[in-house]
Each structure stands twice: as structure tokens, then as C-alpha cells.
């Protein structure tokens, strides 16, 4: 029997505190999620009992730490259905995962005149690394636009794809609009012309299932801290054939095989891409977060979060002067909005004074804001521990902001 | 000379804010200050006069007239307008020497500094730096 979702809130100690004398209503989950006690305990326990540098030590603690670290790699592989743990590379986060591919794939495969195709819905972290790689390689950076509903224009995508296209980079869920992109279809279209696809799963992994073999994505990147795991740990999954052909991203210890003054050869996968002492404690924390999430039924969790999202969208759309951005067929956990004549920054600050934490501004997606001709939005984003009372508090907060600003 | 000294205006503002015991009231007062700030001539709202914050935008126009600092300032955020209106009340039409040496601790004294976390992104720091620079230039002339 799977764990009751309504009991999740009890597992997160930070949510029990008051902010500005009001009970904390945390609706900034797309920025980072809170951590359950079991994740916090796993990190403490690692430092209290197991800490040692991994892989090269031959003492008991080094062996235990290595085993714990490698066990998490297996758990991550199982979680996204990767064919082998050797295709799971630990990074600092989604940003580093994407930078790794932008660098190493670029070095191996991109030549002047080639094209990289990204979507207009991307976070800067799945946009700028490709821009810089294109500048380095003399390649052209092309952008797939989105329509008024906040959906990617797949016809434009098909037209943009051509013989020069070397890679497509797209997110599974937009961090600004919450649009769930049709990843399976995008991969199919790109693969039909032999173009690999990188999927940024940062806003998806905590809400939707992702099976990398089912989607057939070539690269899948995500962060621990948005899925109830610690900050500073991320994952890059990649197909074996790409990892074998790509040169290392960073170099140093751990990633080498033989080093002489004249020659260096590299370690096997995944270690070729994990230079230096890794972030063992946070990998352990990531493992605890996966264990935590696995207690819930994934379909039930998605249905719960979708229901909550629809409840919030309904509640907010009743507020006079409310503008909610995008109307995608499938939206995940994100409500982007503005209130007429009130700056998003003011809404955020005043909501905070009522204990409601949201994010305001451009959300690292300036291309989206430019396309919508706005300076930013307020973004409420959901997590496993949110409930209808949180959204009621948000709606009440917005009403009182409107009253304070005196319209 | 301005009618009141910077210290006198500062004292008044601190007294006014001390009348409120909760943040809702303090913010309401800040919003009132923002609403009362004279509007900036739209023609002056050019990119050269803009401090781009990722949270809010602030425009400023500073002049040195007879050794005094004269400025207008505006923001798309009412709360930031409230904050810059404090700067305006304190420093507009004050002698450049006094603007240059003003300690600018008022936001800390009012407790606003710790509460409004993103001073950097809301452009307030940048406006203060521009005022100091303009005051230095004004004295140098």
C-alpha cells in the first residue's frame, strides 16, 4: 500500500514554522523544494558514520561510502529506467549537466555552419550554454517558437530541423509557464532525421514519470534540489553511444586511466565524466529523496498535483484583474500570473508579509517574457506537501494585496 | 539650503514608521509614500536613465544645480517607489557635500533593509551609487 499524499506535509520540518508571524505557505517549489526529515537525516547520518573519500580507499569507511554512493547511482538508473547505472553521471545540477553536454558534444560533433535547435520556452540554463557553444564552434543557434497557449509550435520545429541540425534541446516542463511539452513526439520527429535530443527534466522529474527508454531521449538532465533532495547534486543520463564518443568535460582525479607526461587515457563510464572528489553526502541525500518519493503511487501523486493545480487556477481566475499566462493542454504544477496594474515584485513582497512564499520576475526566461511583452510574472508552484488551504491562502493574500494597493 | 536638514527629515521618517507595529501597516505606509512621489516626466524614462533589475525597473535623472543635487526618480513597482521616495525626501535639493557624506543608514534604521531582501535586484543600491557619484562630480565642477 502506498503512502497517503496528505500525510507528506508532516515529513517536512521547515513547513512547521511561522514566517512574519503567519504559518508558512510555501509555493516556490519550482525554485527549490523543501527536504523531508529522512533526507536531512541521511546526510547527517552519512557524516556521522560513513564519511570517507570514495573509490580509491581500501579501508572500511571508504568501501562503505563507495558502496552507498554507487547504490544511489543504481537507484537513479532504476528511477528513470536507464539501461545501465554507467549512464548516470552525477553533476552539481541541471545547469552543469547541460553544460557538460554543450561542451563535450560540441567538441565531438559540432562544426562551423552546423545548427543547434532550442525552444523559446527554455530556462536560460538550457539556452545560454548552447548559445556559447555555437559561438565557440561557429555554429548557428536556432529557436523553436511557442504559440499563444504557451505550446511549442511543432510545425515550426519540423521546418527548422534540417541536415545541419546537430542537436535539439528542450524542456519537459517549462519553469515559467508549466507547459508539459510532448517529449515523445519531439524525440520521434528529431530521430526521424537522426538528430539527438537533450531533455531538461528539472521541472518534470518531481511531478511526472520519465522513462528514458520509453521517450528515447538521448540526454536527460535534472537537479536533486527540485525533487526533495539536497542542493548541489544533479544528474545527467545519456545514451551509451554518445558518452563513449564525447570527450571529458572536466579533468583531474578520478576520470583518468593512465597518466604519463606524453599521454593520458580516461577511466570507464561514468567516471570519465566525474572529475575530482564527488559530492558524496548529497548523492546519499538524493538516494534518500528517491526512497521517499517511491513510497507514493506515481499516478496518484500526479493526479493529486493536477487536481491541486486546477483548483488553484480556478480560484485565481475568479479574482478581478487576474491574468494567468498560457493555456497549454497539459500544465504541470505552475501558476504564472499578474494582477492588473500591480507590479509582480509588489505582489511578491506583500504576499511574503502574509507568510506566502512565491517567486516574481523573469524566472531566468527572458525570451518568454519578451515574447509575452511583459517584465515578469508572479509564479506560484506546487509540491507534494501543498494542499487546498495553501491555495486558499494565496488567493486571500492576492485579494488583500489588491486592497492594500487601493484599486 | 533645503528647509530641513537631512537629519531632521530622517528623524521624522523614523518616527512615522515607528507608529506602525506590523509589516502590513509599514507596507501600506510605504505604498502611500510611493503613490505620493511626484511622477517622472515619461520623456525622461530612457534606457540611459534605467537601472535594470530582474525584479523591477528604476529610472532616475540627476542634475547638479548651484551646488545642489536635484533629481527625479520612478519605478514600475509601488514599493520601490516608496523606497526611492525616502531617498527623494532625504536628498533632493540638498547640497552636494551633504549628499556625498549622508550615511544612508535609514533603510537599516527603518528595518526595511533586512525585510526587503533583494535591494540589489530592485535597483535601490544602484540609485544610491548614482546619487553619490553625481554629488562627487558636482563638487568637482
Q: Considering only A18-22, A51-55, A330-334, which range has the smallest mean pLDDT? A: A18-22
DSSP letter assigned to residue A173: B
Rounded to the nearest 5 degrees, what angle is found at the Cα of A103, between the Cα atoms of A101 and A108?
Answer: 90
Looking at residues A265-276, what average pLDDT do you find?
Answer: 94
Active site residues of A: 364
Cα–Cα distance between A144 and A156 in angstroms, integer? Answer: 6
Residue B54 has pLDDT above 70, yes or no: no
User: Could you say which of B22, B27, B76 has the minimum Cβ distance to residue A350?
Assistant: B27
The stretch A347-366 carries a mean pLDDT of: 93
From the list B23, B57, B77, the residue facing A346 with the nearest CB is: B77
Tell me if residue B4 falls in helix, strand or coil.
Answer: coil
Residue A195 in this model has a pLDDT that exceeds 50: yes
Nearest CB to A346; choose among B23, B57, B79: B79
Write phi, then psi, for A255 (nearest 5 degrees): -90, 0
Domain spanning A40-294: CATH 3.40.640.10? yes
Give the whole-angstrom CA distance, residue A291 versus residue A35.
13
A115-119 and A165-171: which strand pairing? parallel
Q: Which residue of A has its CA nearest to B54?
A: A361
Whether residue A377 contacts residue A360, with contact meaning beta carbons closer than 8 Å, is answered with: yes
Every domain of chain A with CATH number 3.40.640.10 lies at 40-294
Least confident of A160-164, A363-367, B48-52: B48-52
| Across B115-121, average pLDDT | 59
Question: What confidence tens digit (pLDDT) does each residue in A243-262 have?
Answer: 999 999 999 988 999 999 99
Instruction: Identify residues of B whose CB sits under 8 angstroms from chain A CBs.
Output: 22-24, 27-28, 31, 35, 54-57, 76-80, 116, 121-122
Residue A390 has pLDDT above 90, yes or no: yes
Q: How far apart are CA A393 and CA A380, in angstroms?
A: 12
Predicted TM-score of the model (pTM): 0.94
- What's the rounded Cα separation, in Å, for the pair B57 and B73? 11
Cell reading at B115: 525585510
Q: Which residues on chain B are in Cβ contact (under 8 Å) with A405?
A: 31, 78
| pLDDT band of A4, cuts 50, 70, 90 | very high
Rounded distance, CA A222 to CA A233, Å? 9
A128-137 vs A94-109: helix axis angle to the nearest 10?
20
The pLDDT, as a whole number, for residue A109 is 98
Size of interface A-B (CB pairs under 8 A): 47
Give the tens place of pLDDT for each residue, B84-113: 999 999 999 999 999 999 887 788 777 776
pLDDT confidence bin for A20, thresholds 50/70/90: confident
Residue B74 DSSP class = E
- Whole-angstrom Cα distance, residue A90 to residue A68? 14
A344: chain B residues, CB-CB within 8 Å = 55
* A115 Cβ neighbours under 8 A, 6+ residues apart: A139, A140, A141, A142, A162, A164, A165, A166
In this prediction, residues A341-364 reach a mean pLDDT of 93
Identify the residue whose cell numbers are 534606457: B47
H/E element, A336: strand A334-339
Q: Give the model's confidence band at B1: pLDDT under 50 very low, under 70 low, under 90 confident, else very high.
A: very low
Is A345 in Cβ contact with B80 (below 8 Å)?
Answer: yes
Average predicted confidence (pLDDT) for chain A: 96
Q: Choose the weakest-confidence range: A103-107, A146-150, A173-177, B126-130.
A: B126-130
Fold of A5-31+297-405: 3.90.1150
pLDDT over threshold 50, residue A308: yes
Instruction: Please write the tens of the pLDDT for every residue from B10-36.
Output: 899 989 888 888 888 888 999 999 999
> Could you tell me which residues come within 8 angstroms of residue B80 by beta carbon, excluding any fewer than 6 positions away?
A345, B34, B56, B58, B122, B123, B124
Residue of B nearest to A369 (CA): B54
Half-sphere exposure of A167 (CA within 13 A, CB side): 29
Q: CATH 3.90.1150.10: which residues of chain A?
A: 5-31+297-405
- Compute the nearest-CA separation of A106 from chain B (Å): 31
Contact in structure between B35 and B78 (CB atoms under 8 Å): yes
Contact A404 B54 (CB under 8 A): no
pLDDT higher at B128 or A7: A7
Fold (CATH) for B6-140:
Sufe protein. Chain: A (3.90.1010)
Amino acid at each position: 500500500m502506498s503512502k497517503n499524499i496528505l500525510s507528506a506535509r508532516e515529513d517536512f520540518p521547515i513547513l512547521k514554522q511561522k514566517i512574519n508571524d503567519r504559518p508558512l505557505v510555501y509555493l516556490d517549489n519550482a525554485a527549490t523544494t523543501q527536504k523531508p526529515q529522512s533526507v536531512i537525516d541521511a546526510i547527517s547520518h552519512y557524516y556521522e558514520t560513513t564519511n570517507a573519500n570514495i573509490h580509491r580507499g581500501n579501508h572500511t569507511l571508504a568501501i562503505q561510502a563507495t558502496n552507498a554512493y554507487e547504490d544511489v547511482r543504481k537507484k537513479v538508473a532504476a528511477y528513470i529506467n536507464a539501461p545501465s547505472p554507467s549512464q548516470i553521471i552525477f553533476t552539481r545540477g541541471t545547469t552543469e549537466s547541460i553544460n557538460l553536454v554543450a561542451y563535450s558534444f560540441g567538441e565531438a560533433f559540432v562544426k562551423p555552419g552546423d545548427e543547434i535547435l532550442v525552444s523559446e520556452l527554455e530556462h536560460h540554463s538550457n539556452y545560454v550554454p548552447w548559445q556559447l557553444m555555437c559561438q565557440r564552434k561557429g555554429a548557428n543557434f536556432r529557436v523553436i517558437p511557442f504559440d499563444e497557449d504557451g505550446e511549442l509550435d511543432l510545425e515550426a520545429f519540423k521546418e527548422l530541423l534540417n541536415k545541419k541540425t546537430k542537436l535539439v534541446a528542450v524542456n519537459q516542463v517549462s519553469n515559467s509557464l508549466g507547459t508539459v511539452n510532448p517529449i515523445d513526439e519531439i524525440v520521434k520527429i528529431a530521430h526521424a532525421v537522426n538528430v539527438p535530443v537533450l531533455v531538461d527534466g528539472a521541472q518534470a522529474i518531481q511531478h511526472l514519470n520519465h522513462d528514458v527508454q520509453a521517450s528515447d531521449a538521448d540526454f536527460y538532465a535534472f537537479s536533486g534540489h527540485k525533487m526533495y533532495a539536497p542542493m548541489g547534486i544533479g544528474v545527467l543520463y545519456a545514451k551509451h553511444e554518445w558518452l563513449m564518443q564525447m570527450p571529458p568535460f572536466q579533468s583531474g582525479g578520478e576520470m583518468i586511466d593512465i597518466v604519463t607526461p606524453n599521454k593520458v587515457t580516461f577511466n570507464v563510464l561514468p567516471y570519465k565524466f566525474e572529475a575530482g572528489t564527488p559530492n558524496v553526502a548529497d548523492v546519499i541525500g538524493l538516494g534518500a529523496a528517491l526512497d521517499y518519493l517511491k513510497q507514493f503511487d506515481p499516478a496518484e501523486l500526479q493526479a493529486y498535483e493536477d487536481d491541486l493545480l486546477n483548483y488553484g487556477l480556478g480560484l485565481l481566475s475568479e479574482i478581478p484583474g487576474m491574468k494567468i499566462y498560457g493555456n497549454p493542454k497539459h500544465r504541470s504544477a505552475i501558476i504564472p500570473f499578474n494582477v492588473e496594474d500591480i507590479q509582480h515584485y509588489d505582489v511578491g513582497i506583500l504576499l511574503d508579509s502574509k507568510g506566502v512564499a512565491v517567486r516574481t520576475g523573469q524566472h531566468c526566461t527572458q525570451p518568454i517574457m519578451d515574447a509575452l511583452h511583459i517584465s515578469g510574472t508572479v509564479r506560484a508552484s506546487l509540491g507534494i506537501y501543498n494542499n487546498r488551504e495553501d491555495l486558499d491562502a494565496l488567493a486571500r493574500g492576492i485579494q488583500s494585496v489588491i486592497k492594500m494597493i487601493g484599486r | 539650503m533645503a528647509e530641513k536638514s537631512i537629519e531632521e527629515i530622517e528623524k521624522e521618517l523614523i518616527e512615522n514608521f515607528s507608529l506602525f507595529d506590523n509589516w502590513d501597516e509599514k507596507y501600506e505606509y510605504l505604498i502611500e509614500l510611493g503613490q505620493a512621489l511626484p511622477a517622472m516626466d515619461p520623456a525622461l524614462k530612457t534606457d540611459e536613465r534605467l537601472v535594470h533589475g530582474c525584479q523591477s525597473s528604476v529610472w532616475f535623472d540627476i542634475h547638479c544645480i548651484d551646488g545642489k543635487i536635484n533629481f527625479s526618480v520612478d519605478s514600475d513597482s509601488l514599493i520601490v517607489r516608496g523606497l526611492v521616495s525616502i531617498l527623494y525626501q532625504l536628498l533632493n535639493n540638498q547640497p552636494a557635500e551633504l549628499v556625498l557624506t549622508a550615511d544612508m543608514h535609514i533603510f537599516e534604521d527603518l528595518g526595511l533593509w533586512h525585510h526587503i531582501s533583494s535591494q540589489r535586484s530592485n535597483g535601490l543600491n544602484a540609485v544610491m551609487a548614482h546619487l553619490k557619484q553625481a554629488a562627487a562630480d558636482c563638487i568637482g565642477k
